[in-house]
Amino acid sequence: MATMQQVAERAGVSIATVSFVVNGSKKVLPHTRERVEAAMRELGYSRNHAGSALARGRTDIIALLYPAFERNLSGTAMTFFTSAADRARERGYTLVLWPAHNEAAEITELTASGLVDGVLLMEVQLEDGRVDRLKEGRTPFALIGRTQDPEGMAWVDVDFASSVETAIEELVALGHTSILYISGATEKRFVAHGGVARARESYLQTMAQSGLTATTLTCGENSAAGRLLAAELVEHHPDATAIILMNEHAAPGLAIGLAQHGVRVPDDLSIISIGTSAHMASMAEPVLTHMDSPAAELGRLGVDAIIERINEPDRPLPQTLIPCTPGEGASVARAPRR
């Protein structure tokens, strides 16, 4: 196999320049890059990444493990992936989205394969068998999210609890006392999901502390379900004046359904959409007042956390909580007089 030196000679450049091209570690002028690439092809040079990487015990690949079979990636998760992939690239790694069933055996297999240097686990459950397997293995890992007791692990997570608390406080300050909480699908695994469970718990606690009655509802994660929910609200919860919504995909349909039933948002009913994006909030009319998921920041921090685990395992464990950030919208107003 050709060496980097031979490529450099053929292309008439320094070895450093070849290295820059091969590793993408520094900008190289387009025509220089083309010369180097041509020389690589002509000489059949390859980094022989897998071979050399395995020899030194590294592949420079990070697996972002996502249960793609069970749940479609939300826009938020996609932003997370894009941001994480970008950050990994900046730091000399390739981050790939690795689909997985939520099965512990798959984790054992992946970490034993030697194909990845580290694992980032998404959609963490309060009790999570995959985390137990990751703990047993030797592959460094970090969580996007948290188990019930995340001590002794590296994690970054969205602070849904404080976001829900902030939203309720804002609504209470505007005179609302009948505030519903609406989250996604009802299946067990969503209740067991760390973020979903903590958000709901925060709602229940904050309402109790404010002396208010809590009412939680669920709704499928699509617009058709949102439309149906509107009818249910009109029939069974006519006194509600505000909604905390943890279900961005149902939002446009919910707004459409409410309008069809003559419920004006925000005059009759205020809505705060939590853990979403301006893109999704803008699909409803009026544009929803919302709290943005910090997906892009989480992606960067998650990658930094796993790279630190890979390279500096003796450093203190990164454990970072990031709140949602308030976004513009027109779906919140003072509570109507009844």
- Given the rule CB under 8 A, which of 50-58, 148-156, 166-174, 183-191 is the region that contacts its own copies? 50-58
Whether 118 contacts 140, CB under 8 Å: yes
Q: Residues binding its own copies: what is the number (CB under 8 A)?
A: 60
Nearer to its own copies, 60 or 170 (CB): 60
- Interface residue with its own copies among 47, 236, 264, 315 (CB under 8 A) is 47
Asked if 238 is part of the footprint of its own copies (rule: CB under 8 A), the reply reads no
Whether 193 contacts 70, CB under 8 Å: no
Asked if 256 is part of the footprint of its own copies (rule: CB under 8 A), the reply reads yes
Whether 278 contacts 290, CB under 8 Å: yes
Asked if 98 is part of the footprint of its own copies (rule: CB under 8 A), the reply reads yes
- Residues 124-163, mask of contacts with its own copies (x by CB under 8 A): ------------x---------------------------
- Interface residue with its own copies among 222, 234, 263, 297 (CB under 8 A) is 222
User: In the β-sheet with 242-246, what is the strand arrangement from edge to edge?
Assistant: 215-218, 179-183, 242-246, 270-276, 289-292, 325-327
Asked if 214 is part of the footprint of its own copies (rule: CB under 8 A), the reply reads no
Taken as a whole, the chain contains a residue count of 338
- Given the rule CB under 8 A, which of 36-44, 175-183, 237-245, 315-323 is the region that contacts its own copies? 36-44
Host H or E run for residue 96: strand 94-99
Q: Which residues lie below 8 Å from residue 132, measured CB to CB, with a gap of 6+?
A: 104
First-to-final CA distance of the chain: 81
Nearer to its own copies, 99 or 313 (CB): 99
What 3 state SS string does 239-303 have? CCCEEEEECHHHHHHHHHHHHHCCCCCCCCCEEEEEEECHHHHCCCCCCCEEEECCHHHHHHHHH
Nearer to its own copies, 198 or 227 (CB): 227
* Listed residue (121, 163, 126, 175) closest to 148, CA to CA: 126
- Residue reference for tokens 């196999």: 1
Asked if 85 is part of the footprint of its own copies (rule: CB under 8 A), the reply reads yes
- Given the rule CB under 8 A, which of 97-105, 146-154, 289-297, 317-325 is the region that contacts its own copies? 97-105
Measured between alpha carbons, how far is 172 from 179 in angstroms, rounded to an integer? 9
- Interface residue with its own copies among 25, 82, 148, 311 (CB under 8 A) is 82
Asked if 297 is part of the footprint of its own copies (rule: CB under 8 A), the reply reads no
Asked if 63 is part of the footprint of its own copies (rule: CB under 8 A), the reply reads yes
Measured between alpha carbons, how far is 187 from 218 in angstroms, rounded to an integer? 10
In the complex, which residues of this chain contact its own copies (CB under 8 A)?
A: 21-22, 24, 33, 37, 40-41, 45-51, 54, 59, 61, 63, 68-69, 72-73, 75, 78-79, 81-82, 85-86, 89, 94-99, 104-106, 108-109, 112-115, 136, 222-224, 227, 249, 252-253, 256, 259, 279, 282-285
